[in-house]
Structure 1
Amino acid sequence: MSARTTDVWARALTATLTTHADTATLNAARRLLTTTGTQLNINKGFATAKFPLADGRPVRPRLLVEELTEAQWDRIEAAIATHTPTPGIIGDHLADPDRTAGIPLLPSAHDLTHSCTCPAAPAGPCAHTLAVGLLLAERLRAAPAPLFTLRGRPYQHIKKNLRAQGHSTAAARVPSPHRAPTSPARPTADVAPFVPAQQPAPMPEPAELDLAAARPVLSGPLPPPPAPLPELPAQKALVADAAHRARALLAGTDQPTGTDTGSDLARFTALEHGAPFRQAAIDHLGLDVVAMGHLTLAHTHGGPAGAAAYLHRYTVDHDVLARAQADIQPLRPAPSATVECEDNHITDQAAGVQLRYGPDCRWHPYLAPYGPWQPVPGPDADPAQAYRAARTAARAFRRTR
Structure 2
Amino acid sequence: MTQPPSVAGWAQALTTALAATAGEATLAAGRHLLRDGGAPLNVTQGFAISKFQLPDARVVRPRLVVTELSTTQWDRIDAAIMALPDAAIVAGTTAISDEFINPHLTAGVPLIPASEDISYTCTCSTGETTPCPHSAAVGLLLTERLRTTPALLFTLRGRPHQHLKKRLNATSARPARQEPSALESPPAGATQPLPLAAAPGAAAQLAIPDPVDLDLTPLTPAHALPQPPPAPLPDLQELNTVAADAAHRAQMLLDGGELHISRDTPSDIARLTMLPHGAHFRPAAMEYLSLDVVSMGHLQLAYTYGGPAGATAYLETFPVEHEVLAQAQAAIQPLRPASMATVEWEDNRLTDQAGGVQLRYGLDARWHPYRAPFGIWQPVQGADADPAQAYRAARSTQVRGRTPKK
TM bin (shorter chain): 0.3 to 0.5
Query: Whose RCO is larger (CA < 8 A, sep 6+)?
Result: 1
